[in-house]
Structure 1
Amino acid sequence: MPDGGAVARSLFAVLATTVLVLLWISGPAALWVAGAGAVAGAIGLQDSPGGRIARVGIASVQMGAAVLLGTLTASFDIVFVVAVALWCFVAGLQWAVGGNAGLVGAGATALLVVAPPVAPTVASVLLPTLLTIAAGGVQAALIAIWPPQRWRTQREALSDAYRALADEARQIGADAGSAAAHILDPSLRDAFIDTQASRRPEAYHGGHRPPERILATLRALRESPGVKDDDVTRMSEAAAEVLDAIAGQDHTARRDTEHGLVRLDATVTRLSGPEEALAQRLSRQLREVAKLRFPDLNRADLISPVRNAAQVVRSHMTLTSPVLRHAIRLSGAVALGVAADRFAPVAHGHWIALTVLMVLRPETAHTYTRCVGRLAGIAAGVVAASAIAAVVHPSGAVAALLATACVAVTYAVHRTGYIAGSVALAAATVFLLDIDAATSGATLEDRLFSIIIGGGLAVVAHVALPDHALTRLHQRAGELLKSEIDYAATVIKAYVHALDRQSDTVTSAWQRAYRARAGFEAASGAARVNTRALRRWLRSYRTALNAVTASCAALEDSLPPHPPAALTREFIAAVDDYIDALRGAPATPAAPWTVDVAALTAAAQQVRERAAGVTGDDGALRVLVAEIASITRSLAGIASISEPISAE
């Protein structure tokens, strides 16, 4: 959940731009601007490192392209249905890049399917397209000029840390015996540790870790035998310049960093002996930090991310890919919904296509349950919004205000679950459509009738083109692994952090793991297990996960009611790092959940080392360290099991 100030600024911009376009241009343009602004704002507030402006820009251009296609073809029914089918196929393939990319594609498609059947003119085509892109540009400008407070706090903490590291680098060779015990402010870790966050994008994990790794390398250089050598001194000065440039916030910081890295590499080539390996490690670490700080560093052109995404999509152009099958299902179901709107006597039939877009996901592991849950949420949101509309009769600016309020509610309930999010999103959609006279005026019966048809199309699409049996089994296995990891992370966190309703939280995590195990067993029973490799994989996978469950049960049995007072800050930080490494990053819908064994093993080793500094004889602490080691071994065993590529 982004901080309230950032959400308020984003939604105020959505409301302001919508009202201005409504007053000066037209209702359809205002509807597109409102939808594009809401989607771009959500993308801009994603908690991830760097590149936010570029992502918002790419999303805005895609939504502008959807509006352009809609205004050009909406007045020609057959052409419009074909255009929607082709667009939905491409939008469905975006799930190969990631969940956010797939949702942006769905949002852009929603702007396309609500295009009114008006004959195209230069003004009716170009003006809405440019305004849609501009609505996203406003959100990008807000993020660039006035980022959320959390990001500002982290940026300032990192700047202070890199300046301190620059001072430390300059001391190498000058006075090797006077290294301070700690030069990094503890607030650096506090700025990035969020005990309420479940998981974040992989690149964003532990923004405090790169400075800590750089500090360890600098300390190793201090203790090396050739520290007084002139080449080492020059290298450390060059490293200090790079660190100062990375810490800088002015417009020359990126250029200074790039030039500093070139000078650093030149000094590293002059070294030999143990200092050479340490200097090369320092150079690699500084390059990694520079790429996080400046995502476009050393990038030849701005469309490289698009090219990389295209390569990922091409790798999924096989019939066994869940993403390709989702794209086919989405294309067919939405096209049928649009055809029903245009050719069948269905009032306000655009709700059919919108329902398909909100319900259909490439979720192999829990397709039908989530379809039903989302349908129930959409119906509840429509009923609630229709009740408000029956009293207020919103249109124009009033509808825009209510839609903005519902988007705010969507932000607030997002972490509650997908059903609550569907309720708020459906209510926001009702009021968004009321902005324009062409899409407003639907009765509750019209909306619910179309929602039922749209939900039926989504389910029938899955029945007609189900996912490959082995793919479904792998996805279920990944879902089970994720649930077991969440269970382990919750129990481990309870040892070092006071959790609200600790017993209920741990029990809830266990219940999710239990349900995931039932789903995995159901998928394995439905698959045709005709090969020895598949049977061996299933047996090994079950054994490893049973070991993880046993470790979690042992941890739960020894769980103290409150974290022990003797725990040191360093040990708690090491456990937090282990939890981050354990949870990892969300897999894309195209790949099952996996574990970064190298990061997990390093974090477990750090926990063992920090546990030696905890005073007192605490049995719960010994159990925690021992079971962390056991969980790490079990997960490493799972990662080493090669998945079969055929069930027959």
Structure 2
Amino acid sequence: MSWLRALKATSRSGLTVERRPLEPAIAARGALGLALVVGFSLALFGPAVAASSAFGAFQAAIATFQRSWRPRPTLALASGASLAVSTFLGYLTGANEVLFLALLLSWTFLAGLTWAAGPTAGIIAASNVAIMLVTVTLPTSVAEAAGHAVVIFAGGVVQAALVVLLPVRRWGAQRDALADALAAEADYARRLRHDPVAPFDPVPLMTARSAAAVTPRQARRRPAELHGARGLAERIRPVLASLADPAVGVPKEGPQRDRVRELLAAAGELLDAAAHAIRHGEPVTLPPAAVAALRTPDTGAILSGPSRRAAVRLAALLGDVVETAEPRTETSPREAPAPPPEEATTEAAGSPAPTAPIGATRATAPSAPSEATEAPATPAPPPTRPPTRTTRTRPSLVRLAPVAAASMRAELRPDSPILRHAVRISVVTAAGYLLGAVLPFGHGYWAPMASVMVMRPDFSQTYARSVARFGGTLVGVALATGVVQWAHPGTYLLAALAVLSAFGMYLLMRTGYAAGQVCVSAYVVFLLGMDGAGVTQTVRDRVLLTLVGGLLAMLAYAVYPAWETPRLRGRLADWLAAAGRYAAAATARYADPVGSVCPDVREALLDTRAAKVAWQEALERATHEPVRHRGLSHAAAEQAEHALAQFGRVSMLLEAHLPERGAPPVPAAATLAESVHRATERGAKQVRERKEPQWDDLRETVTAWSADPPDHFLLHKGAVLLLEALDEVSVALAESRRAR
């Protein structure tokens, strides 16, 4: 993509206002906290202290809006405390330009490195630097600076207290994440009715997994219906794929396919019902038609072999999902059994299969994968003891500090995009600060404040936010300055206008950066106007300084970039290696059956998902970069992505039919697992070295099996499909080399 097209695309993205559901109650709570802090500080201490406390409360409320699964009060307190420390240190060095510039450089560099700990930490750290540039101009002595730091922290305390005292939809984010995962499974089931090999986006499941990690305190308070349903959704996905896929199931047309479509439709309706119940905390309303479809007794007469086993397993898992999604009270008899297992679950040997409350009877899946051992479905007794479950725990912020520090240290290497971001943002902020001091506009902090707020580790977000910042500032500053100079509002009216602007920012935060910046710019103008600071500064001065900051940010990325495009081959190789480990782990379990719960298979699947999402995010960022593909064209990337998706699908089918504990082992599976692992590891290395990958190990195994295939309905077919997918990867990369 050329620079002109890249600028057009990023500008359009930055100025886009999206239609998102608004959250007025949460926005009102944040504005209420800000109003309490400003009003109290204004009445007791005056406009300057009120401005400092307002910045603390404002930033703390923004922190609670970030996409984080940590308790919102914790985020508010962390934001208030870090901003208080930043402001106090900034004032201590503010009298000496050299010392302050050194602090600004080091503090901004650390803020850039903080992105290694996650986007929430990076955003809070960058905001601290931006607000510090403003607040250090308010106090006039060390004692006053300490007092300002105290009231800034108090603003965070007030916002944290309001989150506790005025809860809005407790556990709402976790409920939405789990409901979205179940809804994604429901949509997947419906799409499989028309496309038996439809792709599935694992992001909702990954998001739900992140939301499921809780602190010890949260674990004691988490609603019962948020336990276990995600683990069941994870186990349903391969069963749905196995039921629909004609490679291991029923023909593409005929009575069996019609029955499969009916079961998939019923699964979609039941999963939607469970998702709705979890999202709203209501009892599950079962669609009668879907329940009847799953209860139909002629499934065993229509379906046979792997498809019949998948149908029986699907009914059992859906029953568990419905039962888990029911809201429970402390006195409810349903509270006694432990929730269904999630990733870190172990089952006792010989324990019966999970049971489903959907039908009048519950069936167990056959213990062996061989069709010859298939027995008619029979009712199963309830489990003699519930399976054990390990809750995914999230460390506290104190315990997380060493982990975050280690992540930041790990980024101190020349090829790290996080390190490049830290260098860029620190240099640009210092340059903006010096330019703001030299230019004859006054209040030069507008330039470095704009730079530090728009800069991100990738090109697209930095340029999009720069354009949005300039546009939003132009509108917001013009409106606010016009109101101040025309109406000459008093101190308390300016405070009210600042709170109103903050409410607009909280309300519109999700709709786009440009819309939020209109309110933020007006907020800063009204807030600083309470003490007379910046009243004489014109719209032209503020907008030009913001433009200077945005241009510095854009120029820095052009001069010292961290392009994603040259790293695409590495991302693809990471995905290939992870997918190979997943396929090998699933295949190896046929040689050593341990039951359907296999921690090594589960961990390999999670690694594959993470590698796939990293590849997709990198590809999306590379799409808008003004650089050549350097060895991997967009067409080749799409073809390789499709091939690896098919490779992962075959691995998922292998996982869906894992033999039960005690089933007869298939020794040939160990050979296939080893050949898949060696082939993909060597192939990933060849991809990184810009060579055409070869799959000799897997090809030899498939060739040897063509004359004497293993005695299993899936292994030989799965090996052939895995090799075909890898060959497609080679074709995509070979065509990309020829196109250069």
TM-score range, shorter chain: 0.5 to 0.7
Specify the SS of the correspondent of 2:515. Answer: helix
Q: Is the 8 A contact 1:153 1:191 kept in 2?
A: no
Partner of 1:411: 506
Partner of 1:39: 59
Residues 1:53 and 2:130 aligned together:
no
Structure ID, larger Rg: 2
2:163 to 129, 134, 143: 143
Residues 1:428 and 2:523 aligned together:
yes
Counterpart Cα distance in 1 of 2:120 and 2:569: 22
1:273 to 328, 336, 350: 350
Q: 1:469 to 1:547 in 2, by over 3 A?
A: closer
Measured against aligned partners, the alpha-carbon deviations of 1:441-475 in whole angstroms (never above 9, x if no partner) come to: 32222212322322232222223312246457689
Counterpart Cα distance in 1 of 2:228 and 2:568: 50
Q: Is the 8 A contact 1:75 1:119 kept in 2?
A: no
Counterpart Cα distance in 2 of 1:130 and 1:518: 41
Partner of 1:111: 131
Specify the SS of the correspondent of 1:365. Answer: helix
Residues 1:311 and 2:331 aligned together:
no
**Residue type of the alignment partner of 1:55:** L
Partner of 1:391: 486
Partner of 2:637: 541
2:431 to 336, 352, 359: 336
Q: 1:137 to 1:188 in 2, by over 3 A?
A: farther
Q: How does 1:189-268 map to 2 (within 5 A)?
A: 189-190=275-276
**Residue type of the alignment partner of 1:418:** Y
Specify the SS of the correspondent of 1:132. Answer: helix
TM-score by length of 2: 0.50
Residue 272 of structure 1 and its aligned partner are, at CA, apart by 3.9
Specify the SS of the correspondent of 2:460. Answer: coil
Q: Is the 8 A contact 1:545 1:634 kept in 2?
A: no
Residue 280 of structure 1 and its aligned partner are, at CA, apart by 13
Could you say what the CA RMSD is over the residues aligned between the two structures, in angstroms? 5.2
Specify the SS of the correspondent of 1:334. Answer: helix
Q: 1:249 to 1:143 in 2, by over 3 A?
A: farther
Q: 1:74 to 1:439 in 2, by over 3 A?
A: farther
**Residue type of the alignment partner of 2:102:** V
**Residue type of the alignment partner of 2:97:** D
Q: Is the 8 A contact 1:396 1:435 kept in 2?
A: yes
**Residue type of the alignment partner of 2:538:** T
Q: Which moved more, 1:436-445 or 1:55-64?
A: 436-445
Q: Is the 8 A contact 2:112 2:422 kept in 1?
A: yes
Q: Is the 8 A contact 1:544 1:634 kept in 2?
A: no
Q: Is the 8 A contact 1:154 1:188 kept in 2?
A: no
Residues 1:95 and 2:115 aligned together:
yes
Residue 113 of structure 1 and its aligned partner are, at CA, apart by 0.5
Counterpart Cα distance in 1 of 2:624 and 2:440: 45
Counterpart Cα distance in 2 of 1:548 and 1:434: 58
Instruction: Give % identity.
Output: 26
Q: Is the 8 A contact 2:92 2:142 kept in 1?
A: no
Partner of 1:82: 102
Counterpart Cα distance in 2 of 1:324 and 1:281: 52
Counterpart Cα distance in 2 of 1:36 and 1:276: 54
Counterpart Cα distance in 2 of 1:406 and 1:154: 29
Q: 1:456 to 1:219 in 2, by over 3 A?
A: closer
Counterpart Cα distance in 2 of 1:404 and 1:334: 28
Q: How does 1:496-535 map to 2 (within 5 A)?
A: 520=623, 523=626, 525=628, 527=629, 529=630, 534-535=631-632
Give ranges in structure 1 of 5+ residues lacking alignment: 166-180, 195-215, 224-239, 251-255, 262-266, 478-512, 550-632
Specify the SS of the correspondent of 2:519. Answer: helix
Counterpart Cα distance in 2 of 1:436 and 1:84: 25
2:152 to 132, 152, 161: 132
Q: 1:408 to 1:89 in 2, by over 3 A?
A: same
Counterpart Cα distance in 2 of 1:130 and 1:387: 33
**Residue type of the alignment partner of 2:123:** L
Number of positions where the alignment pairs a residue of Structure 1 with one of Structure 2: 445
Q: 1:217 to 1:145 in 2, by over 3 A?
A: farther
Q: Is the 8 A contact 1:351 1:454 kept in 2?
A: yes
Partner of 2:43: 23
2:556 to 444, 450, 461: 461
Partner of 1:327: 422
Counterpart Cα distance in 1 of 2:456 and 2:499: 25
Q: 1:378 to 1:23 in 2, by over 3 A?
A: same
Specify the SS of the correspondent of 2:135. Answer: coil
Residue 426 of structure 1 and its aligned partner are, at CA, apart by 2.0
**Residue type of the alignment partner of 1:423:** V
Measured against aligned partners, the alpha-carbon deviations of 1:297-340 in whole angstroms (never above 9, x if no partner) come to: xx5x6512222222222222223322222221211121122223
Q: 1:397 to 1:318 in 2, by over 3 A?
A: farther
TM-score by length of 1: 0.57
Measured against aligned partners, the alpha-carbon deviations of 1:24-78 in whole angstroms (never above 9, x if no partner) come to: 2243332222122122112224465443232222222211111111221222222
Partner of 1:603: none
Residue 476 of structure 1 and its aligned partner are, at CA, apart by 12
Measured against aligned partners, the alpha-carbon deviations of 1:200-256 in whole angstroms (never above 9, x if no partner) come to: xxxxxxxxxxxxxxxx99968x99xxxxxxxxxxxxxxxx9xx9xx97789xxxxx9
